A and B are shown apart, each in its own frame.
Chain A
């Protein structure tokens, strides 16, 4: 199992993913951690080809911390990202135009277990800068929840 975009190998022993080889160049830096996980500053993205479009965010600080995510555009193809000036500065996004997912940033929704399925709050995506590998979880004022239906479709909840 390998992290995406790797070259110089290191290994983290994840209780969930096994031994994961990773390259320092693919390390993601969260200057403020995540809400509830403020000390989780260093993570790597891990993709398992058979499980796409899932993306695992494996902590390099605590091996037992690992999040399961999906690209937001898979959930909501018309998703639009909104960032504050401070967030844009953290992510090194120049200009005032809205950053484009896939070109300027990658946006991942965190899968939250709910009964036998999962929900994602697209008002709180994880934003990965393609400029400097800095990341943050932006939090908008009101939730935008999607729930995975048994037929595999994502259904807006709020």
Chain B
């Protein structure tokens, strides 16, 4: 993802608007976390970045049984028990 980063300072209860139909509101701020409320059209996917990475991992995990590598993993696990 390229381009400049827009930095906006906001307080609890304040909102930023993205395009015509997406609103992001600051709901709560704690020392380590910010709670955001996102209003967006149903067709817009709103996802935490780390969840996207886990989704990609899950798709690879679903292919594990088709890879023919389960026996090799079982052999490795057996070495730990030996």
- The residues of A with any CB-CB pair to B shorter than 8 Å are 16, 34-37, 51, 53-54, 65-68, 110-113, 116-118, 121, 123-124, 137, 139-143, 148-153
| Most interface-central of B48, B67, B80 (chain A CB within 10 A) | B80
Query: B59: nearest residue on chain A (CB-CB)?
Result: A36
Chain B contact residues: over half helix, strand or loop, or mixed? helix
Query: A115: nearest residue on chain B (CB-CB)?
Result: B69
Does B41 interact with chain A (Cβ within 8 Å)?
no
Does B56 interact with chain A (Cβ within 8 Å)?
yes
Q: How many residues on the B side are at the interface (Cβ–Cβ under 8 A)?
A: 31
Cβ-Cβ contact count across A and B, 8 Å cutoff: 90
Chain B residues with Cβ below 8 Å from A110 are: 57-58, 61
Q: Is the CB of A112 within 8 A of B61?
A: yes
Give chain B nearest CB distance to A41 CB in angstroms: 15
Chain A residues with Cβ below 8 Å from B80 are: 151-153
- The residues of B with any CB-CB pair to A shorter than 8 Å are 48, 50-67, 69-70, 72-74, 76-82
| Selected A-B contacts with CB under 8 Å, 6 pairs | A35-B51, A36-B58, A37-B58, A112-B57, A113-B61, A118-B69
Given the interface pairs A111-B64, A139-B51, the reply to whether A152 lies near B58 with Cβ below 8 Å is no
Given the interface pairs A66-B65, A139-B51, A140-B50, the reply to whether A148 lies near B73 with Cβ below 8 Å is yes
